Structure 1
Amino acid sequence: MIGARLRRGWAVATVAAVLCAGAAVVMPAQAWAESDAVKELAAPPPIQLPLKPSAEFAKFPRYAGMLGSRQIVLKLGPKSDDPAGVHGEYQYSDTGEVILIAGDRDGDTLEVEESNDGTHITGNWVGKFAADGSVAGDRMNVDDSDPQPFDLKPLAAEQPVPPPGAPASTASTASTAAAQPSAGAATAPASGGHAVGGVSNLQTGE
């Protein structure tokens, strides 16, 4: 009897020890779970991929033209918290892919980085703004390899994006011609000549 009670006592003690150990394991796990939940609530929401055009950049100035052999539309404007900073996005006309862009403009020099997921840098841009508002330069990979030229012209507020392959000057020239038609436009000769530089009253081949 005594031996049986002792064995029963050891068994009870062992079970109690196991339960205590189990509780010790469960408690930290629960604490970790709560900690992760707090971190998740505190963290910013994940960026949804693929990227979509942002309403934040919708009213920024637009530029249209070619990046390498593909047409893009760039929306670029100043950062509210950095006088020299600029940011925005560009979108490929053929696929609709959106790429974020951010960096600095110092006078007529543009130096920005791009990201296709909002986290990782995927390329660098270095370019110059011209007097007419256009910007041109090169887009390179992160290691400055594989430079691709870009040449972008400003678009008017309501001006449609020109079709792919159209001359880069079409956007700004069409906007100027529409806003300020030349005085001789209505009386331009209808002979075999054609307009030069978008100015309808200057003809060639006459």
Structure 2
Amino acid sequence: MRELKAMKGAVRRRGWVVTGVAALLCAGAAAMLPAQAWAESDAVKELAAPPPIQLPLKPSPEFAKFPRYAGMLGSRQIVLKLGPKSDDPSGVHGEYQFTDTGAVILIAGDRDGDTLEVEESNDGTHITGNWVGKFAADGSVAGDRMNVDDSDPQPFDLKPLAAGQAVPPAGAPASAANKAAPQPSAGAATVPASSAAATGGHAVGGVSNLQTGE
């Protein structure tokens, strides 16, 4: 009889142990589920987020076909690539690059008629300056570049570059490359552009300057 009671007591104790282990396992599983859900949520956010911008900035293929402008920003030469935004009729964006160091700065803002107002960023996140300028009839643009608090204004004066035109040396007019092109000698036959296109050749005389669309 005592042995039977002892066996029953042992079974009950084992039952508590089994129940306790099961409860611990359930609690552990419940604790793991939120953590797993959190990890999956972070993974989804990471996939959905844009890739981080690599510094220093490099010229973007997105702006490679934009109209180019060359000239001076303060005492340094730059080349600006500026074009319209696809989702904003008055918006413009692009980048400019210092010819001495190759440093790239992003810009974005608006063009209203002949008025240009853009902000710049050297890391794609923080605004580092403001530009305010005017476009002239020949497509050139000039104005001032200022710090975020509108201090330390630096003048900029940029001339449009023709498609394929090399960037002129610092201080030289943007049209210098075209002026340096060899001219046909007297009596030499010139080929009309339409004829050259029909025969697979190249038109003589270059192309007109490009301007940003409004």
- TM-score tier by shorter-chain length is 0.7 to 0.9
Counterpart mapping for 1:187-202 below 5 A: none
Residue 151 of structure 1 is aligned with which of 153, 157, 160? 157
Offset of residue 42 of structure 1: 2.5
Q: Kindly state the Cα deviation for residue 22 of structure 1 after the two structures are TM-superposed.
A: 0.9
- The 8 Å contact of residues 155 and 175 in structure 1, kept in 2 or not, is answered as no
1:177 pairs with one of 173, 179, 189: 179
Residues 1:68 and 2:74 are matched in the alignment: yes
Shift of 1:66: 1.5
User: Contact (CA 8 Å) 2:165, 2:178: kept in 1 or not?
Assistant: no
Q: Is the 8 A contact 2:95 2:104 kept in 1?
A: yes
Q: Structure 2: which amino acid aligns with 1:12?
A: V
Does the CA contact (< 8 Å) of 1:87 and 1:103 recur in 2? Answer: yes
3-state SS of paired residue (2:163) = coil
Q: Which amino acid aligns with 1:171?
A: A
Question: Aligned with 1:114: secondary structure?
Answer: strand
The 10-residue stretch of structure 1 (150-159 or 35-44) with the greater mean CA deviation from structure 2:
35-44
Question: How high is the TM-score relative to the length of structure 2?
Answer: 0.72
Deviation at 1:60, TM superposition (A): 1.4
Q: Distance in 1 between matches of 2:89 and 2:98?
A: 28
Q: Summarize the alignment of residues 28-43 of structure 1 with structure 2, pairs less than 5 Å apart.
A: 28-43=34-49
Identity %: 85
- The structure showing larger relative contact order (alpha-carbon pairs under 8 Å, at least 6 residues apart) is 2
The unaligned stretches of length 5 or more in structure 1 are: 182-206
Structure 1 stretch 40-49 or stretch 70-79: which is displaced more? 40-49
Which letter maps to 1:117? Answer: D
Deviation at 1:88, TM superposition (A): 1.0
> Is contact 2:168-2:177 (8 Å) kept?
no
Aligned residues: 177
Alignment of 1:90-101 (within 5 A): 90-101=96-107
CA distance in 2, matches of 1:91, 1:133: 19
Matches within 5 A, 1:8-157: 8-157=14-163
Aligned with 1:40: secondary structure? helix
TM-score by length of 1: 0.75
Mark the structure with the bigger radius of gyration: 2
Distance 1:143 1:3, change over 3 A: farther
1:14-68 per-position Cα deviation (integer Å, ceiling 9, x unaligned): 3222211111111111111222222222233333332221222112111111212
Q: Which has the higher strand share?
A: 1
CA displacement at 1:3 relative to structure 2 = 5.7
RMSD: 2.3
Letter in 1 for 2:159: K
How big is the shift at 1:179?
Answer: 7.4
- Aligned-partner Cα distance in 2 for 1:87–1:102: 4
CA distance in 1, matches of 2:182, 2:101: 34
The whole-number CA distance in structure 1 between the counterparts of 2:19 and 2:72 is 79
8 Å CA contact 1:78–1:85 kept in 2: the answer is yes
